[in-house]
Amino acid sequence: MLKLRTLRVRSALIRECMAEFLGTFVLLLFGCSAAAQVKTSRETKGQYLSVNMSFSVGVMSAMYLTKGITGAHLNPAVTLSFCVLGRVRWGRLAPYCLSQILGAYVASALVYLVYYDAIMEFSGGVLTVYGPNETASIFATYPTEHLTLGRSFLDQIVGTGTLMLCILGLDEKRNTPAPTELIPPIVAAIVLGISMSMSGNCGAAINPARDLGPRLFTLSAGWGPEVFTCYNYWFWVPLVAPPVGGVFGSFMYLIFIDWQLPDPEPSQNPPAVFTVSDTSWEKGDGFKSAHF
């Protein structure tokens, strides 16, 4: 065991990026696998609810797996919101986001390998974005044909704003905090509720990495540039709208809840903004997540 400790990464930033990569990988592995199973079986081995529930289980599993290192953001919109709120250093934003996108890309590739035969049988070997045998939606999100661009943008703002509004108070000691060990299933339930109520328009991506990583994979795996040009270049909506919605939801939480709660008890020690990996890792000191 002592020999294995030499494999521990000493750089805090690299540890955190590894956690965000693996957490997002697990999230997408659950979700996209369920989408592939439902789609290629023509809903004989699951329904749309199966996909919603699998993404939620993926969130819970990824949080339990990585929460002790970064707080398990798993989502660039969440990371940006925490940066705006001062809970995460701005220097972490780009590395976290890149790690999340890469994790989603690799998970999509693995799902493709696992379900390759089923995808080819279902699509007749033609990988496309449109038509009854399209398979691109197994990986990335796409709008319904009747949806306007403005409405889809609003849809993603509302979904991501709801996510941030509901998760920010889970560890608020001045309110009604959730037990720390139960926060992952609670967040999963929030994601499930959003997916079940706000995914009809364009799949409830509410996560740029969840959409861009798989979309980049489908671009490179045979679906071609149509995954970006389809629906009048709609791809930018799940990239731009969730960060806007996340920041909007965070400010709603501040204005309506955080600033209205009683002032916290004075502390002898000044508050510090840190990530879990900034604690005395090598000394084996105890630590708590600074996020969620």
pLDDT level of residue 7 (50, 70, 90 thresholds): confident
**Whole-number Cα distances in Å, 115 to 102, 121, 226, 258:** 20, 10, 21, 46
Is 31:61 a contact under the CB 8 Å cutoff?
no
Burial class (CB in 10 A: 0-12, 13-18, 19+), 258: middle
Question: Is 286 among the domain residues?
Answer: no
**pLDDT of 4:** 62
pLDDT of 187 higher than 90: yes
pLDDT reported for residue 265: 75
Classify residue 213: in a domain, yes or no. Answer: yes
Position 2 in a domain: no
Across 55-69, 226-240, 269-283, least confident range: 269-283
CATH of the domain at 142: 1.20.1080.10
Q: Domain range for residue 17?
A: 10-260
Kindly state whether residue 93 falls inside one of the protein's structural domains. Answer: yes
Q: pTM of the prediction?
A: 0.90
pLDDT of residue 267: 63
Residue-level pLDDT at 284:
36
Residue 281 domain flag? no
- Average pLDDT of the chain to the nearest whole number: 91
Q: Could you give the CA distance from residue 75 to residue 101 in angstroms, rounded to a whole number?
A: 9
Q: Is residue 5 part of a domain?
A: no
**Could you tell me if residue 287 is inside a domain?**
no
Total domain count for the chain? 1
Residue 268's pLDDT band (cuts 50, 70, 90): low
Residue 203 lies in a domain: yes
How confident is the model at residue 291, as a pLDDT? 40
What CA–CA distances, in Å, run from 173 to 19, 63, 179, 263?
26, 20, 10, 11
- Summarised one tens digit per residue, pLDDT across range 12-65 is 999 999 999 999 999 999 999 999 999 999 999 999 999 999 999 999 999 999
Share of the chain above pLDDT 90, in %: 86
